[in-house]
Structure 1
Amino acid sequence: MNSHTDPIIKLTFDECWELLADEIVGRLALVVDAHPEIFPINYILQRRSIAFRTAGGTKLWSAASERPAALEIDGYDPGTEQAWSVVVRGDTELIEDQAERDAVDALHLEPWQPGDKNFYIRLTPRALTGRRFRVNKPDVWNTRATDRRRASFE
């Protein structure tokens, strides 16, 4: 079957959640000063929500005041030659309860970026969607050497 006729497969809630659990980095989309901004974050899953830490600043202010947010992760599996993406849409809130912070820390949420990340944020999903699709085979002569699809064919 060629890639033009391969369907886009909608992922189930459980498949989306498993992919979220397998990843540790995503892109958080927030509204900042009436326009969208995207921030890379490392996260953990806790109680069917996404938790991350941040310093004071734009991300914190937006997560605390502009409540709607989205998180996106994606990937490629050379073994199956399929790409996938998962999008979480929901609301953010500051985690202020110390017991809740301790529960997040117990799951080894460790910020990647240096500096104090003393604020804990939770993204509670209202919608969780994902899809998987077979990618086009790379053109061996024209596709960049760094394109992940090449690993499937070399």
Structure 2
Amino acid sequence: MTTIQPGPQTETLSPAECWDYLQSSYIGRLAVINGTSPEIFPVNYLAVNGTLVFRTAPGTKLRALATGAAVALETDGLNAYGTEVWSVVVKGIPAPFEGDLTSLAEADPDRQPWAPGLKDHFVQIAPTEISGRRFPVHSRSRWWPPLDFSADWE
């Protein structure tokens, strides 16, 4: 198996830049180990005081988190012109959020889980590793969707 090396225009982000991107976003993909299987869940999170905090309900995700095994959260985005993309990965240890819930509401009063249902378990990820990359998009036409793609679905 070969690995693809980053191109010369790929920029490694500093931890401070990674946190700037984490704070500018709120949707990520949480990777956990469920028994012996990897699972990935979309979560909307909040970056607070050097940790990532999200809410969840009882189920597969919470059971996997309760084991205390390391997790990873990835978020990415692109600039307003679609000419540059970035990706940040945080690896760390999950734990129940022990902070003040009022501080979360003050940090982002409009943040609510997207999925319906009661999500009364607050989880934080204490980062043990953070990394990120940023690079230009060279050929938008290869991945950018056409303005009207309804004909493709017929």
Give 1:5-154 correspondences, 5 Å limit.
6-79=8-81, 81-95=83-97, 97=98, 100-107=100-107, 108=109, 109-139=111-141, 144-145=145-146
CA distance, structure 1, for counterparts of residue 62 and residue 24 of structure 2: 25
Contact 2:82–2:137 (8 Å) recurs in 1: no
Per the alignment, residue 150 of structure 1 pairs with none
1:149 — aligned with what? none
From the superposition, tell whether residues 117 and 13 of structure 1 become closer, same or farther in structure 2 (CA, over 3 Å).
Answer: same
Q: Counterpart of 2:150?
A: none
Change in 2 beyond 3 A, CA 1:113/1:80: closer
Identical-residue share of aligned pairs (%):
34
Q: TM-score, normalised by structure 2?
A: 0.81
CA distance in 2 between partners of 1:100 and 1:110 (Å): 17
AA matched with 1:91: I
The superposition leaves residues 74-98 of structure 1 with CA deviations (integer Å, 9 ceiling, x where unpaired) of 1122537111100000000012x4x
CA RMSD, aligned part only? 2.2
Paired residues, number: 140
For 1:13 and 1:30, the matched residues in 2 are separated by 23
Q: Which stretch shows the higher mean deviation, 41-50 or 58-67?
A: 58-67
Counterparts of 1:113 and 1:14, CA distance in 2: 30
Gaps of 5+ in 2: 1-5, 148-154
Distance 1:64 1:5, change over 3 A: closer
Give the letter for the 1:145 counterpart.
P
Q: Distance in 2 between matches of 1:143 and 1:45?
A: 29
Give the direction of change, closer, same or farther, for the CA distance of 1:34–1:21 in structure 2 (3 Å limit).
Answer: same
Between the aligned partners of 2:81 and 2:135, the Cα distance in structure 1 is 13
Alignment deviations for residues 8-31 of structure 1 (CA, whole Å, 9 cap, x no partner):
100011110000000011000000
Higher alpha-carbon deviation: 36-45 or 129-138: 129-138
Checking the alignment, whether the CA contact within 8 Å between 2:11 and 2:135 is kept in structure 1 is yes
- 5+ residue gaps in structure 1? 147-154
